[in-house]
Amino acid sequence: MKTKPLKILWLTAAVILPLSVSVTAYAQNAEMPADAVEEAASPLVPALEKFRPLIGTFDISGVRYTPNGEVPLTPTQSATQPIMGGYGLQDMSQIDVGSPELMGLQSTITYDQFRKIYRVTLLDDTLGLMDVYEGDFDTDTVLSVTNLRSDTHFPIGPNGEAMHFKLRWDLGASPITYELLMTVDGGESWDNFSKMTYTKTSASTSTKD
């Protein structure tokens, strides 16, 4: 993987990261009830069964990569549940993007049975822009999606320069990992932006008992 540790890219990404992450969000200081999501017997269509480990409430921790090294993220939480009879998953979360306040995010994950691709839509509570990602599993447990095809990029220059993102989940990892990467050359090279781990809360785990 090529890397271009240009400080301006990281600063720009820190501002627009909400466009690339996991719909209407929890309020900045809202509490997520531990029992908000019921995992046991949750319906999912076959194409989404691999995402069953994502159902529940999670503690999020991780790092953001900068030219000066790794910066720890403020610990936050997320809650994910099936929607529309199991044809989709919806995640509500807060995330540290390097700004003074946490960013509220909502994401949906679905499978397009006609085009044979997974689609992830994202909405933040700051700019309110819908971002659309598409992709497939690289391995049995690792899903990678980008917004290259939808071109819901963030403009970074006066001559059409654009920043796109890749989201990557490892659903087989324990805890689950979620990585964000960015590109300014149409996907020819990708730079790491952040990596997060999703640890299921003890209350969420207890719902299976």
The pTM assigned to this predicted structure is 0.77
In-domain check, residue 2 = no
Kindly report the CATH number assigned to the domain that includes residue 68: 2.40.128.20
In a domain, 45, yes or no: yes
User: What is the pLDDT at residue 203?
Assistant: 59
The answer to whether residue 1 is domain-embedded is no
| Residue 52, domain member (yes or no) | yes
Residue 180 lies in a domain: yes
State the total domains in the chain: 1
Joined together, the tokens standing for residue 28 give 């900045």
> Is residue 133 domain-resident?
yes
Is pLDDT above 90 for 42?
Answer: no
pLDDT mean over 172-199: 94
pLDDT tens-digit readout, 100-148: 788 889 999 999 999 999 999 999 988 888 999 999 999 999 999 999 9
Residues spanned by the domain of 19: 7-206
pLDDT in tens, 2-25: 444 444 454 445 444 443 343 333
Residue 65 in any domain: the answer is: yes
Query: Does a structural domain hold residue 168?
Result: yes
